[in-house]
A = this chain, B = another copy of it.
Amino acid sequence: MKAYRDPIRLIPVLFLGVIALGTLLLSLPIATADGTPTPILTALFTSTSAVAVTGLIVVDTATYWSPFGQGVILLLFQIGGFGIMTAATLFGLMAGRGFGLRDRMATQVERSRLDVGDARSVLKLVLVITLVVEAIVAVILTARLYVAYDHTFGEALWHGVFHSVSAFNNAGFSSYSDSVMGYQTDAVVLVPIMIAVIITALGFPVMQDLREHRLTWGRWSLHSKITVAGTGILLAIGFASVLAMEWNNPDTLGPMGLGSKLLNSAFHSVMPRTAGFNSLDVGSFEDETLMTNYLLMFIGGGSAGTAGGIKITTFAVLVAIVLSEIARRRDAGLFGRRFGHAIERQALTVVSLAGALIFSATAFLSMTTPLPFEDLLFEAISAFSTVGLSTGVTGELPPSGQLVIIALMFIGRVGTITVATALALGAAPQKFRYPEENPIVG
C-alpha cells in the first residue's frame, strides 16, 4: 500500500472487470425471459448501468430479463455500490482526506499512509451500514407488498429486496416495468425508499460523523455540515419546484389529492439526486421541471457515497467563492471556516471537466439523432451523474449513442473518483515558480 498511485489506476481496471463479467453473464440465454441470447451492446449497456449504479435501461428490466438475469443485475449494482463507497473512502484516506477516522484534512494535503487497521475498519463499517439499512427497508417493503397488494410472499420478498438494495445503492433499477409508479399513492412503499436513498446519498464521511457525533452540529466536520445543509436546501428546492410546476399537469400531479401531491413531490425531490426511481412519468414533466432536474442531477449528492454528480461540496465551494467575490471579501468559506486555495481549484476542475463532458456528449447525440435537444441533455446529465431518470429516449438511441451513454456512466462513476483522488493527492513538489502576471478578466 506504499505506492499509492498504482491503486488509483486499479479502480478503473477492477470496475471494467466486473462490467465485463456482468456483460458475459447477461449475454447468456438463461438471462433472458424468452431464453434467447442478448445482443452484446444491450448486455454491455445494462451491465455498465448496473455497476455504475445508474439505472438507465435499453430493455425493460421486469419483462426482458429472466429471474437469473434480474439476479445478476441486482448483484452487479450491489457490488458496484459497495465498491464505489469503499474505493472512494479508502483512496480518500490514502489521499489524506481524514473522514473523521483520522484528523481533519489540514491546509496542505498530507500524504498519510493507510494502515491495514483503517482499511478493515472502513470495510466493516460500510458493510454493516449496508446490511442494516437494506434489511430494514427490505422487511418493510416485503411486508407491505405482501399484505396490501396481491403478491405471493415470494413475489413480495423479491420486489422488496430488489428495491431495497437498489435504493440503498442509488441504483435506480426497478423490478417493475413502470418503476414505482404503481405505488404513487402509497407512503409505506415510497417513504422507506426515500429514507434509504437520502441516507446513502450523504456519503460515507457524513455517516461516519453522524455515528461518532450524533446530531451535535458543533462537532461535525465542515464537510458534513455542508453536505447536510446542502442536502436540505436541494430537497426543499426540488420539492417546491415539482409541487408548483406539476400541480396542474394532467399527466403527473394534476389528478392527485393533496396528500399524494405532497408525497410525490417529496419523492421526486429526492430521486434526481441521484437515485433514479420514478413515481411520476418523467417524460410528461413540464419543461420547467426538467430545468430544475438538470441542476439537481448535475449537483448530485455527497462525496464518497453511491450518489453521483459533481457533489454538493464541490458546488458549495464554487458558490461560496462567487458570493465572497461579490461581497468583496478576502476569503471564501462557509460555517466560520475558510477554504484553501487548492480545494477551490479542485472544485473548479471537477465542475469544468463535468460540464465539458456533458456538453460534448449532448452535442454528439444531437448531431447523430433527431431526438429533442432538451431530452438528450437530460439523458447526458442523468448518465454522467448516474441518476438513471430518463424522458424515455434511452431505447431510441442508435448504437453510437448507446456507447456514448455507456462511456458517460462509466466516467461519471469511476472517472470522478479517480480524478478526485488524484487531485486530492496534491501537486507534485516543485521548486521553480514562474513570476506572477495577471491578465484582465471579464
Contacts and interface: CB of A to CB of B under 8 A. Distances in A.
Interface in A170-194: none
A325 interface: yes
Contact of A349 (B106, B205, B325, B359): B325
A345 B346 contact: no
Interface stretch (A150-158, A257-265, A271-279, A311-319): A311-319
A58 interface: no
Interface stretch (A65-73, A118-126, A392-400, A421-429): A421-429
A339 interface: yes
Using C-beta atoms within 8 Å of the partner chain, give the interface range for chain A: 35 or more
A365 to B, nearest CB: 10
A442 interface: yes
Interface stretch (A30-38, A139-147, A327-335): A327-335
A433 interface: yes
Given A318-B352, A373-B287, A426-B328, A311 B345 contact: no
Contact of A420 (B367, B437, B441): B441
Interface residues of A: mostly helix, strand, loop or mixed?
A: helix
A214 interface: no
Contacts of A286: 367
A422 B441 CA distance: 12
A222 B341 contact: no
Contact of A423 (B104, B417, B442): B442
A311 B373 contact: no
Contacts of A352: 318-319, 321-322
Q: Which of A336, A419, A436 has the most CB of B within 10 A?
A: A436
9 contacts: A287-B366, A295-B359, A303-B441, A322-B353, A325-B423, A326-B349, A332-B345, A338-B436, A347-B442
A441 B438 CA distance: 27
B348 A348 contact: yes
Given A303-B441, A346-B441, A347-B442, 19 more contacts: A97-B440, A99-B440, A106-B436, A107-B438, A221-B437, A226-B439, A287-B373, A288-B367, A291-B367, A303-B440, A310-B442, A311-B441, A314-B442, A321-B348, A328-B428, A339-B436, A344-B344, A350-B442, A419-B442
